[in-house]
Structure 1
Amino acid sequence: MKLYSIRLIIFCLSVFLSNAALAQTTLSSQDRKESKDASETKTLLKGGVSPKIKSFGLSFSPLVQFGQLGPQQGGILALHLNNKWEIGAGFLGSLRHRNEIYSNDLRQQFSALSLAYTPNANKLVHLSFPLMIGVIRYQDEMMLASMPGQGGRYDNFYWRNGRNAFGLQPGINAELNVHKYIRLFAGANYRLAIGKDELPELSGLSGQVGLKVGFFNHKINHKK
């Protein structure tokens, strides 16, 4: 694995973790100011005087990705907390109907836990820091060669019995609030593949464009 790839991953993870630490520090400061009773026990879901979860949302994001990994498409289903944090599940896979015979791109699928931090989501244009952690499954050329007929190339058999590697994909996106329930985003990311079956074709830099549809900041009325 090239040294610059490792440095890029370390830098992206550092940005994500530093933003997380900053958010936690800010929340802690607010808790100290708002709390009337410092001895009262606070919890994540129901925190008495100053609850941690003040709003929630749910969104689905269809997206396309292009770059060193070839053209891919997929989507992310995410839960939003406090209009800053996102946690959910995502999927990306090579375009099924591209030219399989003349394309040198390794056909692959990426199923992952999806995390994101958006520090200023209420601004018209803002940044988001996504992170996907999961499994990359890819076609085994030796298995394809042993399968009879060209139609076997489009069969799901080799996905169920193919090879896989651990995948880590940090990135950065610019988001535009088109509507209260719609956001457009575009950005860049780098996928790193790790494991016994890791191949150079599984790691690479990609661009990404997509659409977030849902509600993002539904306020929670905590009873006092």
Structure 2
Amino acid sequence: MSTISFAQTTLSSQDRKESKDVSETKTLFKGGSSPKIKSFGLSFSPIVQFGQLGPQQGGILALHLNNKWEIGASVLGSMRHRNEFYSNDLRQNFSALSLAYTPNANKLVHLSFPLMIGVIRYQDETMLATMPGPGGRFDNFYWRNGRNAFGLQPGINAELNVHKYIRLFAGANYRLAIGNDELPELSGFSGQVGLKVGFFNHKVNNKK
């Protein structure tokens, strides 16, 4: 009888525990001995890009999770020329969701795998031809009334931990444009260099 009573008590306790586990809300940020998010960070990265798409510049604002994952917002646009004469490069602007995976961020030199997903807006040559005077080429009018294409830009970067709060990186990527307004000039290989400034691995308090 004692054995049966002990077994029933054990099973009852186990059932209550399982019931609690099922009904408990699962969260991304969780305290305790083994939280899912163990550290976080925030950084800003100015970038210069060059290659088949012409010279471009921009930046990324990113949230870092567990010193491995990054998610943020980014923008890259064609550099303005210093005079009224433009090169043959198609002027464009890429606004995107920025993702990245860095498996060994604590190593002095390590690899990162970024991905940008967003919209490419580019100038409409027929509209530029109707704009009055050479000064019109410097107007932002065509950005508001230009054409759009969907863009994907995967890449690979080598990063150097210059300081606890500074990382220098350089790499290569390929941008693919998709959509009805897609042009060959919107897709191509590029190299880029940049600087990540911020904090990357702030520990989450594990106390319950």
In structure 1, distance between residues paired with 2:139 and 2:97: 26
Q: Is the 8 A contact 1:108 1:139 kept in 2?
A: yes
Indicate yes or no: 2:94 matched with 1:144: no
**2:88 — aligned with what?**
104
How far did residue 222 of structure 1 move?
Answer: 2.2
**2:201 — aligned with what?**
217
How far did residue 47 of structure 1 move?
Answer: 5.5
Q: Summarize deviations over 1:71-106 as a string: whole Å, max 9, x none.
A: 000000000000000000000000012566351100
Q: Is the 8 A contact 2:124 2:147 kept in 1?
A: yes
Residue 192 of structure 2 aligns to which amino acid in structure 1? Q
**1:184 — aligned with what?**
168
How far did residue 111 of structure 1 move?
Answer: 0.3
Indicate yes or no: 2:69 matched with 1:85: yes
Q: Is the 8 A contact 2:31 2:205 kept in 1?
A: no
TM normalised by structure 1 equals: 0.80
1:1-224 superposed matches below 5 A? 40=21, 41=24, 42-46=26-30, 48-97=32-81, 101-224=85-208
| CA RMSD, Structure 1 to Structure 2 (Å) | 1.6
Q: Is the 8 A contact 1:64 1:71 kept in 2?
A: yes
In structure 2, distance between residues paired with 1:98 and 1:119: 41
Q: Is the 8 A contact 2:156 2:173 kept in 1?
A: yes
In structure 1, distance between residues paired with 2:172 and 2:143: 27
SS in 2 for 1:188: strand
Q: Summarize deviations over 1:40-91 as a string: whole Å, max 9, x none.
A: 4542111644211010000000010000000000000000000000000000
Equivalent residues, number:
188
In structure 1, distance between residues paired with 2:151 and 2:173: 12
In structure 2, distance between residues paired with 1:103 and 1:136: 19
Greater shift in the superposed pair: 109-118 or 94-103: 94-103
Q: Is the 8 A contact 1:43 1:51 kept in 2?
A: no
Residue 220 of structure 1 aligns to which amino acid in structure 2? V
SS in 1 for 2:100: strand
Identical-pair percentage: 89
In structure 1, distance between residues paired with 2:56 and 2:32: 45
In structure 2, distance between residues paired with 1:75 and 1:109: 12
